Amino acid sequence: MTEITRKTRETHVEVRINLHGEGRSHISTGIGFFDHMLETLAKHSQIDMEIFCEGDVYVDYHHSVEDVGIVLGEALHKEIFPIQNIERFGNACAILDEAGVECDIDLGGRAYLVYEVPTEGVIKDFDMELVEEFFKSLCTNAKIACHLVYKRGKNKHHIIESAFKSFALALRRALAYQDNNIPSTKGVI
C-alpha cells in the first residue's frame, strides 16, 4: 500500500492505494460528481483507493481536481515502478448506454496524454474540461502514456463515466501479471 499527502495553500490531499486490491474505495473530495468518477475508477481498475481532498471549492473545482490527479499519479508511479512482470500495454472501450470512449495505455515510463473527449459543458456544477486536467495531472505524475478517444454519445454524464471506466479497464489490463520480466526490447523501463 502506498500513502501520499500533499498540502498547498489551495488543497490538502491524502491518497492511499493498494494496486492489487478488489476495487474498494472511500472517496471524499467535496465534489459529488468527481467522487462518483473516482469510485468508478477504483471499482473497474480493481485498485483499492482512499482519497481525501479538502480544497478551495468556493473558488471552483480546478485546484482540487488537478491536485487529486497529481497525488494519485504519484501514488500509482510509486506502486508500478520499477516495472517488471506486467503486461505494460492495455486498452479498452467502455460504453454506457449510447456513449463509448476508448482508452489505450502504455506504462513504459513516458508521460503523454492524448485527450479527444468533449470538454465543453457542465454536469450539474462540474465543468467537463476538468476531466482533461485530471487525466493530464495523473498521467504526468504516474509517467503513463494514455490516449482517451471519444467514439460516440450525447449524454455528458455517460461520456465522462465511459472515459473513467475505459481508463480503469485499460490500466487493469496493463497491470496484468506476465512472466516476461521486463516488458521492453531495451531490457529496461
pLDDT tens sequence across 87-100:
999 999 999 999 99
Distance CA 119, CA 91 (A): 22
Read off the pLDDT band of 73 (50, 70, 90).
very high
Over range 31-54, report the average pLDDT. Answer: 98
Distance CA 168, CA 163 (A): 9
Mean pLDDT computed over every residue of the chain? 96
From the candidate CATH numbers 3.40.50.1860, 3.30.230.40, 3.60.21.10, 3.40.50.1970, the one assigned to the domain spanning 2-174 = 3.30.230.40
pLDDT in tens, 28-42: 999 999 999 999 999
Classify 58 as helix, strand or coil.
Answer: coil
> Over 90: is that where the pLDDT of 181 sits?
no
Please report how the helices 156-174 and 129-142 are oriented relative to each other, as an axis angle in degrees rounded to 10.
Answer: 10
Alpha-helix runs per DSSP H in 8-128: 32-45, 62-80
8 A C-beta contact, residue 73 and residue 133: no
The structural domains of the chain, with segments of one domain joined by +, span 2-174
> Over 80: is that where the pLDDT of 25 sits?
yes
pLDDT at 179: 84
What are the backbone angles phi and psi of residue 162, rounded to the nearest 5°?
A: -65, -40
> Over 90: is that where the pLDDT of 188 sits?
no
Q: What is the pTM of this model?
A: 0.96
Give whole-number Cα distances, 151 to 23, 103, 104, 122, 130, in Å. Answer: 26, 10, 13, 19, 19
